[in-house]
């Protein structure tokens, strides 16, 4: 039995239909069984795999997964549509496969899902802090721009209006009526 690196498990987790899932082909490889055997066990134990534990991809999803994941190129010509397992479905697979490797792998899979959840949580915190800093910097930028404009105005005062020498009559002005 080869050693499985947790990062390898985490790299096989995909986002489909708004859920983090692993495909049957990846799980079969990790559990050390064929995809056919894995799916047979799922069908025999269908009551253990409700819709929130597992779903089958449609043609578009399959094409997208094959296009975006190099390691899944072998699925391109497969006549069957792959199944996607959520964290709970992947854990349930460990129970129905009933081998010592299945127990070890199911623990690794659950840890990988937890690790990704923690990373996303940390990412959200960092993102919120960056947004807050951006808002502060934006208001500071506006204040600094205002200061620079005021300094420029002080450096270049407007020239005083000069009166011409002598008497000038305004053409627009009308003579006043005296009473």
pLDDT attached to residue 1: 46
Question: Does the reported pTM lie above 0.85?
Answer: no
Average pLDDT for runs of 10 along the chain of length 179: 64 84 87 89 90 90 82 78 88 80 78 78 71 72 80 75 70 61
Domains, in order of start, for the chain = 6-121 (3.10.260)
pLDDT attached to residue 44: 92
Q: How far apart are CA 24 and CA 16, in angstroms?
A: 14
> Are residues 110 and 90 in contact, defined by beta-carbon separation less than 8 angstroms?
yes
pLDDT attached to residue 43: 92
Q: Count how many Cα atoms sit within 13 Å of the Cα of residue 111 in the half-sphere of its side chain.
A: 12
Q: How far apart are CA 61 and CA 18, in angstroms?
A: 12
- What is the C-alpha R_g of the chain? 35
């Amino acid at each position: 039995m080869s050693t499985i690196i947790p990062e390898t498990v985490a790299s096989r987790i995909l986002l489909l239909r708004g859920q983090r899932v692993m495909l049957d082909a990846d799980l079969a490889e990790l559990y050390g069984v064929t995809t056919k055997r894995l799916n047979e066990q799922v069908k025999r134990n269908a009551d253990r795999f409700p819709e929130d534990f597992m779903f089958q991809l449609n043609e578009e999803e399959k094409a997208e997964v094959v296009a975006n994941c190099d390691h899944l190129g072998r699925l391109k010509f497969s006549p069957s549509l792959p199944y996607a397992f959520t964290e709970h479905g992947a854990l349930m697979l460990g129970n129905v496969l009933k081998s010592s490797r299945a127990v070890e792998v199911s623990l690794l899979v659950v840890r990988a899902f937890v690790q990704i959840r923690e990373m996303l949580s940390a990412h959200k915190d960092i993102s919120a802090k960056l947004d807050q800093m951006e808002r502060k910097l934006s208001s500071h930028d506006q204040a600094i721009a205002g200061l620079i404009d005021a300094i420029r105005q002080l450096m270049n005062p407007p020239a005083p209006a000069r009166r011409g020498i002598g008497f000038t009559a305004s053409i627009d002005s009308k003579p006043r009526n005296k009473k």
